[in-house]
Amino acid sequence: MNKIIEKLKSIVGRENVKTEYDEIEKYSKDETSSVEPSLPMAVVFANNTEQVSEILKIANEYKIPVTPRGAGTGLSGGAIPKSGGIVLSLEKMNHILELDLENMAVVVEPGVITDEIQKLAEEHGLFYAGDPASSESSSIGGNVAENAGGVKVLKYGPTAFHVLGLEVVLPTGEIVNFGGKMMKNVMGYDMIRLFVGSEGTLGIITKIILRLIPKPKYSAVLLTPFKDMETAVSCVPKVLSQSGILPTSIELMDKYSVEISSKFLNENIPQQGVDCHLIFEIEGLDKESLTKAYISLGEKLQQMGALEVYIADNRHQKMKIWKFRKAIAEGIIAFRPKHCMEDVGVPIKSIPTLINSTYDIAQRNGVEVLNFGHVGDGNVHVTFLKPENMAEKQWDEAMHKCLEELYCVTADLGGTMTGEHGIGVKRKDYLRIFLTQTEIEIMKKIKQAIDPNDILNPDKIFPNEF
């Protein structure tokens, strides 16, 4: 093993290979609270594509597992080195390589924090639309590897919609390129879509070409409380199909998520005690058309059962509404650190059934639950909470039952186990609920063809037994 460590040091420099416990401990986990940490043999920091290639050649030769890692903000355990081996950190590959205004594209390395791309684009009147809620902390490489979503997927789509090209190092060390700065490309299989969302199991992404669009000049946010979940969610498909307006976002907060957010902020939201609040964001080319749109939408929402419509059309007011939605996750971490956050997705019409089922599941298993998320695209963050007096072993057993029941309900409703966080290690044992053996074997054959020695992020996505 010392021989391999020395080879790695010769590639990246001695200062970029860490093996001491104090140096590698934080790389044994990500932000998935329900997955146990696992220490790697070493953490290696790559500075360029060539170094990544040489590292993978050694790992493939000696059949050493490699876990790629960006900012470590994942929520599926995808960056946890469950098989030991090498954690290959891309955080030093953090350069914006090119801003091409004529082609409305930006070329970046994987370690760039997503918000930096957004800020650069905005300086030139442009906008990176694949912008997840974690953009201030997550890296673009991780967003691409997980096909991250966020609050704007309804209008702009997930990360995959904005990736024009990729440079990828395969597990064997070969460097390949797919796509480019062109908008249309149907030359062969869609390899970009194969690697986007592959969770670091097929290759390590070392360069990304992203599409930019003109930045919307004006926007408004509508906060709408509803007395019950059914009334709230039933208005969403009507807004999408009948209003003539495509919102940027439609977000949902149940009363329990509002309570924890309000506690974290030490503020109350209008009509605090109702069962559900929805947040709508819409955009316009000018103030006049925007005003006309939000007045029209507000009137329709009240006709559909909204108790009130609170409109924010300036930056301060909009931030005041959005902070309640964004503080939910922070409140959960602060007040209920032992929790299990899911991101199931169902057809919009089925959301009330899904959410009502979560309350029943939690009660049957002696835990608590809250729900929030991206109701406009059917993606709900069902979050189970450990009661303070529950023993750890009892919590683990309850969680297994809760997840099994939640996923079965989701599958019955025609839904998906994960809309944006990925499978990783956290959800892999439940994949059998959603996919047949044949469907799983197709995916495993793709993995085997590209990574015959199974070195790249092994023990992720697929169940150990089927």
pLDDT tens readout for residues 178-235: 999 999 999 999 999 999 999 999 999 999 999 999 999 999 999 999 999 999 999 9
Residue 134 has pLDDT above 60, yes or no: yes
Give dist(CA 134, CA 186) in Å, integer. Answer: 32
Given this model, what pLDDT does residue 131 score? 79
CB–CB of 200/111 below 8 Å? no
Residue 466 has pLDDT above 60, yes or no: no
CB–CB of 344/407 below 8 Å? yes
For the chain, the average pLDDT equals 96
3-state secondary structure at position 174: coil
Q: How confident is the model at residue 136 (pLDDT cuts 50, 70, 90)?
A: confident
Length of the chain (residues): 466
- Residue at 433: amino acid letter: I
Give dist(CA 348, CA 167) in Å, integer. Answer: 36
In this structure, is the dihedral angle defined by the CA atoms of residues 351, 354, 357 and 363, taken in order, positive or negative? negative
In whole angstroms, what separates CA 198 from the centre of its chain? 13
CA atoms within 13 A on the CB side of 300: 20
Angle, vertex CA 128, rays to CA 122 and CA 131, nearest 5: 115
Given this model, what pLDDT does residue 314 score? 92
Given this model, what pLDDT does residue 1 score? 76
Give dist(CA 422, CA 200) in Å, integer. Answer: 11
* Structure tokens, 294: 């939000």
Give dist(CA 59, CA 456) in Å, integer. Answer: 9
User: Which residues touch 175 (CB under 8 Å, ≥6 apart)?
Assistant: 49, 53, 167, 168, 169, 206
Given this model, what pLDDT does residue 33 score? 80
Full DSSP string of 194-253: HHTTSTTSS-EEEEEEEE-EEPPSEEEEEEEEESSHHHHHHHHHHHHHHSS---SEEEEE
Per-residue burial over 255-279, b = 16 or more CB atoms within 10 Å of its CB, e = otherwise: bbbbbbbbebeeeebebeebbbbbb
Given this model, what pLDDT does residue 464 score? 82
- Let me know if 166 is exposed, middle or buried by CB neighbors in 10 A (0-12, 13-18, 19+): buried
CB–CB of 269/258 below 8 Å? yes
Given this model, what pLDDT does residue 52 score? 98
What percent of the chain is modeled with pLDDT above 70?
100
Give dist(CA 395, CA 251) in Å, integer. Answer: 29
pLDDT tens-digit profile of 368-421? 999 999 999 999 999 999 999 999 999 999 999 999 999 999 999 999 999 999
Give dist(CA 8, CA 125) in Å, integer. Answer: 43
Cβ count within 10 A of residue 36: 11
Q: Summarize the confidence of residues 51-69 as an average pLDDT.
A: 98
Kindly list the distances between the CA atom of residue 216 and the CA atoms of 125, 183, 212, in Å, as whole numbers in the listed order: 9, 20, 12
Give dist(CA 162, CA 148) in Å, integer. Answer: 11
Give the H/E segment covering residue 334. Answer: helix 315-335
Better-predicted residue by pLDDT, 133 or 271: 271
Give the H/E segment covering residue 246. Answer: none
Maximal C-alpha separation, the chain = 72
Give dist(CA 355, CA 242) in Å, integer. Answer: 25
Q: Note the pTM of the prediction, 2 decimals.
A: 0.94
Given this model, what pLDDT does residue 228 score? 93
Residue 453 has pLDDT above 70, yes or no: yes
pLDDT tens-digit profile of 303-331? 999 999 999 999 999 999 999 999 999 99
Angle, vertex CA 158, rays to CA 216 and CA 117, nearest 5: 55
Q: Summarize the confidence of residues 431-448 as an average pLDDT.
A: 97
Q: How confident is the model at residue 465 (pLDDT cuts 50, 70, 90)?
A: low
Given this model, what pLDDT does residue 147 score? 97
User: What are phi and psi for residue 136, nearest 5 degrees?
Assistant: -75, -15
Q: Summarize the confidence of residues 264-293 as an average pLDDT.
A: 95
Kindly list the distances between the CA atom of residue 355 and the CA atoms of 258, 339, 360, in Å, as whole numbers in the listed order: 15, 17, 9
Residue 438 has pLDDT above 60, yes or no: yes
Residue 9 has pLDDT above 90, yes or no: yes
pLDDT tens-digit profile of 137-153? 899 999 999 999 989 99
Domains and CATH numbers, the chain: 2-89 (3.30.43.10), 96-214 (3.30.465.10), 218-334 (3.30.70.2190), 339-412 (3.30.70.2740)
Q: Summarize the confidence of residues 355-361 as an average pLDDT.
A: 96
